[in-house]
A and B are shown apart, each in its own frame.
Chain A
Amino acid sequence: MIQEKIKLAAHDVNLWFGQKQILKHIDVTFPERKITALIGPSGCGKSTLLRAFNRMHDLVPDARIEGRFLLDNTDLYGGPLSATQVRQRIGMVFQKANPFPKSIYDNVVYGLKINGVPKEQQHEIVVRSLQESYLWEEVKDELNKPAVRLSGGQQQRLCIARTIALRPEVILMDEPCSALDPISTAKIEELILKLKEEYTIVIVTHSMQQAQRIADKTVFMYLGEVVEQGPTASIFNNPQQELTANYVHGRFG
């Protein structure tokens, strides 16, 4: 077996919202330039874990986090990086497409502007990002159209374009296809598979089929704990835990 480089990891992570403990002793690793799927029944904490990696819980007043989150051995919390810097290196695509209430072009260029990308490079990056997210051909003539007028699938690809414009190292995806029709889903999956060449991708998904189609590694979570993690094929075909077997064979969830 080839030794994979670990890009992103969580060690002994506990997370509470108020009195309620959402994540318990999470130990998980994500290999570089691979797609890792987080699966598990609703409420198992997979989205909460995902959002912890780019510090989305910072704004939740009663959230409390223990343990270490590491990006290339750099601490994401309490280390040299500010929340903003963490989010520049770890991008996020959300469950429901959330384009800015601005034009298509402005959606992609916004992150470049605030992060100080020189003006003369901005246009080129916008075009390239839209091309890489397979959206360019559909929108190249109407870049000034409000983004909210795009279809759901187009909006989600725009959100991906917006994320890759910043050249992050990791892209977190929180059920990016759950609101989309099968055709749009197929397009996004194709896109994700291509993005793997350059980015480390962590995707939360509800769909066993999707995990098997695209993920190299799969992590199964249940009630705030990681039950099992490993190569996707072995999680689905040869699970070590009975709980995992029951879930991936659709006996609950």
Chain B
Amino acid sequence: MKRKLQFIAEWGSLLLSTAAVCCFLVVILWDIIGKGLPVLSWEFLSSLPTDGMTKGGILPAIVGTVSVTLITAISATPFGVCCAIYLNEYAQDNWLTRSIRASIRNLAGVPSIIYGLFGLAIFVQALQLGTSLLAAGLTLGLLSLPYIITTTEEALRRVPASTREAALAVGATQLESIRDMVLPSAISGILTGVVLALSRAAGETAPILFTGVAFYINNPSGALNQEFMALPYHLYMLSTQHQAIAEVRPLAYGTALTLIIVVFLLNFTAFYIRYKHRSK
């Protein structure tokens, strides 16, 4: 009897921790979906905020988040993929390679707020981009870089050496072998990694705080040199900075739900790419 009780207590504790983890997710989604869904409508998604942002929709924030994520993708993907190609296809085991790898590991651990400061000091001030969509997108690009490099390198590593040898044997240069054989073979792995990196970038707030995000923009133009609104910052602002916090709570829930949907959609896209490639 005592042994049995002990057994239940022991394994129960593990089960309880696992249940707690699941519970966190359920509570988060339950609360946000439950209170956000009634707010969500086509009108909410497609109209400008009105009445001092106590009514209306979140269109500028959606446009801003999409545009800033696009800039992140355009700036970080070529850079990250090229670096991963260098590491996996060319790099020898020397001090340069080791320094690059150490730098990537360190960059991955740098807090996002420090990327924000860097974006402020370098992009906004030193390069005089001002607080703008471009400066914020580049900042998020740097934040995504270590992740894109790591996942791309993993994808390249899965391409068998025989594919490279086959291309070289018919007289391809190494560049041609990478361009024509290695990259096409690794493309789904690379895309999965890039999309996952973007899903994280789209939800980030700290790096864009000082580099270009704005309280309110009434014409979402997507212009590179303009400030922009973004879903995560809009949520932050509605829940802490607004003068009528209680009144805008439903809008905040709607924004939170939209943000989660955007992030999860990107995640599912990534998993779909991976799944589709596996089943091929």
Contacts and interface: CB of A to CB of B under 8 A. Distances in A.
A98 B162 contact: yes
Interface string B138-166: 00000000000000000000001011111
Nearest to A146: B280
Interface string A92-103: 101010111100
A61 B171 contact: no
Interface stretch (A25-33, A35-43, A108-116, A191-199): A108-116
A61 B172 CA distance: 19
B165 A162 contact: no
Contacts of B180: 110, 114
A122 interface: no
Interface in B155-209: 160, 162-174, 176, 180-181, 184-185
Interface stretch (A65-73, A83-91, A214-222, A226-234): A83-91
Contacts of B184: 101
A92 B168 CA distance: 9
Contact of A98 (B93, B163, B171, B176): B163
A87 B165 contact: no
B92 interface: yes
Interface in A106-165: 110-111, 114-115, 159, 162-163, 165
B166 A100 contact: yes
Interface residues of A, number: 26
Interface in A48-70: 54, 56, 59, 61
B92 A61 contact: yes
Contacts of B162: 94, 96, 98
Contacts of B167: 100, 110
Given A101-B181, A101-B185, A110-B180, A84 B166 contact: no
A99 B166 CA distance: 7
A10 interface: no
A74 to B, nearest CB: 16
A91 B169 contact: yes
Contact of B170 (A59, A87, A96): A87
Contact of B169 (A54, A85, A96): A54
B166 A87 contact: no
B174 to A, nearest CB: 7
B166 A94 contact: yes
Nearest to B91: A61
Contacts of B168: 56, 59, 83, 87
A100 B179 CA distance: 13
Nearest to A101: B185
Contacts of A99: 166
B163 A101 contact: yes
Nearest to B179: A114
B163 A100 contact: yes
Given A84-B172, A100-B167, A163-B170, 6 more contacts: A87-B170, A91-B170, A110-B180, A114-B176, A159-B166, A163-B169
Nearest 8 A-B pairs (CB), nearest first?
A: A111-B170, A98-B162, A88-B171, A61-B92, A92-B169, A98-B166, A87-B171, A84-B173
18 contacts: A56-B168, A61-B92, A84-B172, A84-B173, A85-B171, A91-B170, A92-B169, A94-B162, A94-B166, A98-B165, A99-B166, A101-B181, A110-B167, A110-B170, A114-B172, A115-B171, A165-B170, A166-B170
